[in-house]
Chain A
């Protein structure tokens, strides 16, 4: 799961269908956007939120908000590196949360059943092999998700997919590993992503294939400064050489507060034209290479195993999110902790999460932070699904 920051100019929205408007307004992968969430007062308990909900095919999502480096394009909720002990303390908090959430769900009637699970971030493979193993134990024993029997998707970066981590993930039942390669061209990686050597990326892909996880996804980005049809094709060919079951082609967005965003986020018709041109180029290359297109970004190799339901099922069937950047979806309400893109704010939110006692996960108790003062503004918010125009009710929000 990813989180984007608001539209570039949300208070003066361009008419998106205006032929002169940018084709790149907003990546809509969930609705409503997290920035539409509101605080809800009084804050209901989790069991009230889940009462009466169909809990027969839930998604479980665990958010791991750590990365080794901050990629230039990235606006995800993640912090860079972790001081000694923070990842362990984070998993302690996640386990406390899991226990409380499971209890709340169980109070609503029959035990919830999880139909699929995902670890996202951040970079879940920032965790050590032993920590990944513990994360799986929390998902299985605390939440009751049978990871070996359901689809389990894990996001990873080339530098962190070590053999020992992959062995844990494969053994625990990972069915899909998504590798954030972004580009195979080293100059493009330096410009928009992070310094990475082609040889290291290839070695990482080799280790993933050796781990025999059924579905490999490779993420690639187009629209990088200096990227041409030829260099884009080099990345696509390099990815295709691994015959990944899935490929995601992402247009580059430059958003506020990201590394690239410091250069400005104004409209740029020439850049729009470059992205649209590279998109068509990439799409045509993949369609000609035996892939089918499932959405603007997603391509699936024909004949590749289809494991689990489609990606949007979580919004229909309900999702339980664990971790400080995770959202949860019931049919009536979407809720999450607060999130941020700015590094200092992110560190504060992660620290606040790690310090939460169990009772604070069942109903917001507005715990004080370690310095004995109330933590910064809204840490949790909630929005609601509802359909678009007309019926788009905006139910409230909730702290949890």
Chain B
């Protein structure tokens, strides 16, 4: 992801919005450190763990709404 595109869309910096999450991804080796400061890119290991990394970025509000879905609508046995 081009950092400038994010900034243009949301008016903020992804490094500030997701500082803790990105730091932890970096610790796990999921970020491509050769991408340079203007680009956020997954490493090969990051790609392999996309399905764990994605949910990490959900907002608390979205997380709560998803959690409320099943109890509210009783769709599941």
Our pick among A7, A26, A38, A392 for the contact of B60 (Cβ within 8 Å) is A392
Interface status of B2 (Cβ within 8 A of chain A): no
Contact of A19 with B66 in the complex, beta carbons under 8 Å = no
Give the size of the chain B interface in residues (CB under 8 angstroms). Answer: 36
| Size class of the contact patch on chain A | 35 or more
Q: Which B residues, 22 to 77, have Cβ-Cβ distances below 8 Å to chain A?
A: 24-25, 28, 47-63, 65-67, 69-70, 73, 75-77
For the complex formed, measure the closest distance between the CB of B55 and the CB atoms of chain A, giving whole angstroms: 5
Contact of A25 with B51 in the complex, beta carbons under 8 Å = yes
Contact of A27 with B18 in the complex, beta carbons under 8 Å = no
Give 1 or 0 for each of B2-30: 1 = CB within 8 Å of chain A CB.
Answer: 00001001101000011001001100100
Tell me whether A295 and B55 are in contact in the complex, defined as CB-CB below 8 angstroms, given that A17-B28, A341-B75, A391-B17 are known contacts.
no
Tell me whether A36 and B75 are in contact in the complex, defined as CB-CB below 8 angstroms, given that A19-B28, A25-B55, A392-B61 are known contacts.
no
Contact of B48 with A256 in the complex, beta carbons under 8 Å = no
- Chain B residues near A316 (CB-CB < 8 A): 9
Interface status of A322 (Cβ within 8 A of chain B): no
4 pairs of A and B residues whose beta carbons are closest in the complex: A392-B59, A28-B54, A35-B69, A296-B50
- The interface centre, meaning the residue of A10, A31, A393 with most chain B CB atoms within 10 A of its CB, is A10
- Chain A residues near B76 (CB-CB < 8 A): 256-257
Tell me whether A13 and B48 are in contact in the complex, defined as CB-CB below 8 angstroms, given that A388-B58, A389-B17, A391-B12 are known contacts.
no
Chain A minimum-CB-distance residue to B59:
A392
Contact of B61 with A340 in the complex, beta carbons under 8 Å = no
Contact of A7 with B12 in the complex, beta carbons under 8 Å = no
Our pick among A7, A17, A279, A280 for the contact of B66 (Cβ within 8 Å) is A7
Tell me whether A6 and B56 are in contact in the complex, defined as CB-CB below 8 angstroms, given that A383-B65, A388-B18 are known contacts.
no
